[in-house]
Amino acid sequence: MIIDFHAHLDDRWFDQPLMSREQFIAAMDRCGVDAACVFTLMGFFEDSRRHNDLLAGRAAALPERLIPFITVDPKLGEASIDELRRCIALGVFRGIKLHPWLQAFAPSMLKKTIVRIAEIAAEKDLPILFHDGTPPYATTFQIGAVARWVPAAKIVLGHAGLADYTLAAAQLARDIPNLYACVCGPRPADIAHIVATAGAEKVLFGSDLGLSDWMILADRLDAVRYAGISDEQTRMVLGGNARRLLRLL
Amino acid sequence: MNSSDERIIDAHVAVGREHHLSLDENELLKRLDEGGIDLAIARPMGAELAVLNRRGNDRVLSLGPRVRGLVSANPWFGDEASDELKRCRDRGAVALYLHPTRQGFMPTDPIAQPLVVFATEQNWPVVIHTGTYIQSDVLALAELARRFPQTTFVADTAGFTDMWFELPGVLEEVPNVMLCASLVWGRAILNTVNAGRADRILFGSGEPRDRIGAALARIDRLELSPEHRRMVLWDNARRVFKLQ
């Protein structure tokens, strides 16, 4: 079973139309992907409540395959906590996605709110996937710090260091028990290193499907397959670990 | 060698050691064989890129006729860096490689200028790592390219990852900039082709960080016309690196 832990299901990126739900599913089918964790894109810039509802609506038709994640704007303080609780009460979301770069905050600027969000996530056993790998708000170290603030929360490096923080991602995922690495961006040798350093049980597959088309999904699957890791490690990275974090039976 | 009629130049491989990455001569040649690559352009990495330039350059210049040397010198070595490039020229180097992040400078810094002037005098292209924030800014490369309009500059790794977004505008505005497609995703390459700029793209595998098989699969998925495919895989690199 393959689960894409990092995808976006939205209708546009600013003025650029994105793939429809049908095209998104067709891309998954073409690449043999069973399920995808789906996030907003424009909800990082606009009213997150509205975009949470839109995302829930898009995912509702195929709940076995489209697993929606909540986003909130931590800059709003208590209002973001209210929105988080509202979404959790809907019972359809399986995780939280925060994008400090695009949402324009460093976790340390909003530490009180970020800790509250992470504590609630821990209480509800929802993983939080953060964009990482991009200074000045979303370095891999900044996301690692969040995991240290709330050890009970499951924090995921959304890009496992992306291009320039892959060594740091491997070390932090090794050293911080509640920090996981989603290899959405790293190339085969990076993935092999992250698996060897942090342990295959800490590594998740992700593609950014939705931000780009089916080719990015195929390419990022290739990155795992060319990493030279064992069949068992590959099984864990491509789906087994995601099933565990998402509590899928 | 490639067994089909198609010929392929891999415009970006790195040899030596750097953190978790490692590639020696024998393994490189084995991977070129397996991938059907006819020619490769190789640069040093790790300490041999940052400080031990002579050792790294000798490594890439001694790989044989199938692998051409993309040599480097850290600009902070001043006159010694220029002397090292002269030595490499005499040993058959085909281009200058700079990695502003590893070597610690901004492409527009005055200390880099003598090396770019030397490359220009040799009619060499200048390949510059792009994508890492601050020093490896795509737009800094573009500024340098504007100052040396007669020289071809190659944006290595095409700004991978998120500095890719600057490249379409740079390709439109600065005619002497090309991109090396190693690491970057397929849609970025296809959009560049569809914008009428197939002549500005070099195929590169990014070995050993990426794999030749994965990089070629990215190109295959684009379903390029035979003409565009030949440009990306062979013609452009042959022209830029002046390969016979």
Interface subset of B 87-126, CB within 8 angstroms of A: 101
Rounded to an integer, what distance in angstroms lies between the CA atom of residue A160 and that of residue A162?
6
Both tokens of B168, joined, read: 């379409």
Residue B66 in tokens: 């199938």
Give me the pLDDT at residue B1, please: 47
Cβ within 8 Å, pair A212-B187: yes
> Which regions of chain A does DSSP assign to beta strands (E)?
3-8, 12-13, 16-17, 35-39, 66-70, 95-98, 128-130, 155-157, 179-182, 203-204
How many Å apart are CA A181 and CA A111, to the nearest integer? 22
Q: Which residues of B touch A190 (CB under 8 A)?
A: 20, 209
The tens digit of pLDDT for each residue in A88-132 reads: 999 999 999 999 999 999 999 999 999 999 999 999 999 999 999
**Partner-chain contact A189 B161, CB within 8 Å:** no
Average pLDDT, chain A: 98
Strand partners, B9: B39
CB contact under 8 A, A134 and B162: yes
Q: Is B71 left (phi over 0), alpha (psi -120 to 50) or beta?
A: beta
pLDDT, residue B2, reads 52
Residues of chain B with Cβ-Cβ distance to A135 below 8 Å are 133
Task: State the pairing for strand pair B21-23/B9-18.
Answer: antiparallel
Tally Cβ neighbours within 10 Å of residue A17.
9
For residues B20 and A189, is the Cβ–Cβ distance under 8 A? yes
| Cα–Cα distance list, A237 to B40, B86, B234 (Å) | 32, 48, 36
CATH number of residue A113's parent domain: 3.20.20.140
User: pLDDT per residue over A32-76, tens digit each?
Assistant: 999 999 999 999 999 999 999 999 999 999 999 999 999 999 999
State which residue of chain A sits closest to B182, comparing Cα positions: A187
CB A95 within 8 A of CB A125: no
What is the secondary structure of B23-51 as a DSSP string?
E-HHHHHHHHHHHT-SEEEEEE-THHHHT
When divided into structural domains, chain A yields a total of 1
Name the percent of chain A lying above pLDDT 90.
100
Considering the domain B9-240, what is its CATH architecture?
Alpha-Beta Barrel (3.20)
* Beta strands in chain B, from DSSP E residues, in sequence order: 9-18, 21-23, 39-44, 67-71, 95-98, 126-129, 153-156, 177-180, 201-202
- How distant is the Cα of B148 from the closest Cα of chain A, in angstroms? 29
How far apart are alpha carbons A182 and A239 in whole angstroms? 11
Domain that holds residue A104: 3-246
Identity of the residue numbered B241: F
* Spans of chain B below 50 pLDDT: 1, 3
Note the ipTM here.
0.96
Interface test with A, best of B13, B138, B161, B189 (most A CBs within 10 A): B161
pLDDT of residue B64: 86
Identify the pLDDT of residue B244. 80
- Which positions 43-82 of B are in contact with A (Cβ < 8 Å)? none
Distance CA B201, CA B180 (A): 6
Q: Are strands A66-70 and A95-98 parallel, antiparallel or unpaired?
A: parallel
